[in-house]
Structure 1
């Protein structure tokens, strides 16, 4: 039997499975009073028709509309700031936020249906690499999507929230150059990540404007994690001509670089200057406190939440990509280069 391209209804699924609409509803709601064989049959029909339950209507004083805020595995200081911004904005308009960790990316249809059936009004994905299959599943489910700091943008019309990453990379490197450093290296996140590429381009632009060459070994990429900072920092600091300053693509990487320096008996900032990116609470708690590029993470969470709700309400938005301003924050991890270096 061919599957209709139109959106399936409960009646369609029930007729194909040879059961009542009430039985299909019980399966969708996870009720236990359905025979295993019948449940399996209904579930196969739901998958066959790519069934998506209609969004629940919010009744005044009853229930709570929710937005899914989804992260890659491994929450950190960056994630905490985003969550606080999104939750604060949601509380202002009486909307709930459900924080989740992205799991099996292959079950795209079931994943999108699950979000809709759970009553989500929209999805906010943070630093996620979304496949075309996932985007198609969300589109079929009519679930609005907003991406914060996307790792890739497979479609031009995906709504995303970010920061002025190029300007931030430029400012970080210009700061180190103004201190007399010339052997400046960069350690960033995934090589293909849009935000990482922008920060790297900013670094290169600052170096080129001063006529300072970027040595091939001075650029390291990995992930936005502490241990990549340790590993990348170790590689750089073991070079015959080690850098005197390192611009890290995030605060967590910067702390990893500090550990690599400590293991080699190097002092911060006397022997090595370090600049991070994000300005999470980790930057202020570090010893010495970390010079970094402040990314307005809480505001990015707030803007993403408000944008997601506007999309869910069918409103038009002014731009599909919003960039919020970054700012250099000078603390104790940077100092003038030693004379003659």
Structure 2
């Protein structure tokens, strides 16, 4: 749901070339974020360009490396959805080193809503995860397993919230600006 909300926000602003950077491809959460991205594009009638999808790690360095790859494309994205706020920090650095301004030249959305997200310049638009609820749910599931109770489900998805700050804007040259 978070990947879909982030991508829909960028589409609503007028972006059509949206890159995504996620974590390891074999991690369920990485695939879920990319699946949400794909679903939002398809639902909006946009083509999902595989060239704009990058996997790596959820760290700053991974965001920097994959962000540079996306920004070096002949037709680079006007927006990047990073699978973590740490990756988004790396994208900020990659953009800065290329002389790009956020959000005037590149919109960036993160994921996690780490405390640093609101202190970045500009403050990062991000997907907030319900960390307290996630911890409580995981603890309850673990206690049920310890007690021998069968779990009702092997996988649980909790609602996320898109926190819109100042790192996103309509693409340069768009009529919605």
Aligned partners of 2:14 and 2:174 also within 8 Å: no
Aligned length: 175
Match of 1:239 in 2: 73
**Which deviations, in whole Å up to 9, do the C-alpha atoms of 1:131-157 show, x marking residues without a partner?**
xxxxxxxxxxxxxxxxxxxxxxxxxxx
**Which deviations, in whole Å up to 9, do the C-alpha atoms of 1:95-139 show, x marking residues without a partner?**
xxxxxxxxxxxxxxxxxxxxxxxxxxxxxxxxxxxxxxxxxxxxx
Query: Which aligned pairs between 1:82-161 and structure 2 lie closer than 5 A?
Result: none
Deviates more, 1:244-253 or 1:211-220: 211-220
Match of 2:92 in 1: 258
- Tell me the TM-score normalised to structure 1 length: 0.49
Match of 1:171 in 2: 5
Give me the whole-angstrom Cα distance separating, in 1, the residues matched to 2:155 and 2:66: 31
| The one of 141, 144, 154 aligned to 1:310 | 144
Query: Which aligned pairs between 1:212-231 and structure 2 lie closer than 5 A?
Result: 212-231=46-65
1:268 aligns with 2:105: no
1:282 Cα deviation after fit: 2.4
Structure 1: runs of 5 or more not aligned: 1-166
Structure possessing the higher radius of gyration over alpha carbons: 1
**Which deviations, in whole Å up to 9, do the C-alpha atoms of 1:135-187 show, x marking residues without a partner?**
xxxxxxxxxxxxxxxxxxxxxxxxxxxxxxxx111111000000001111111
Aligned partners of 2:78 and 2:105 also within 8 Å: yes
| The one of 179, 186, 205 aligned to 2:39 | 205
Query: Which aligned pairs between 1:184-199 and structure 2 lie closer than 5 A?
Result: 184-199=18-33
Q: Secondary structure at the match of 1:201?
A: helix
1:268 Cα deviation after fit: 0.7
1:316 Cα deviation after fit: 4.2
Match of 2:127 in 1: 293
Aligned partners of 2:21 and 2:82 also within 8 Å: yes
1:197 Cα deviation after fit: 1.0
1:340 Cα deviation after fit: 4.7
Give me the whole-angstrom Cα distance separating, in 1, the residues matched to 2:136 and 2:126: 22
1:287 Cα deviation after fit: 1.6
RMSD: 1.6
- Tell me the TM-score normalised to structure 2 length: 0.92
With over 3 angstroms needed to count, the CA separation of the structure-2 counterparts of 1:337 and 1:231, relative to structure 1, is same
Aligned partners of 2:38 and 2:48 also within 8 Å: yes
Give me the whole-angstrom Cα distance separating, in 1, the residues matched to 2:27 and 2:50: 19
Match of 2:82 in 1: 248
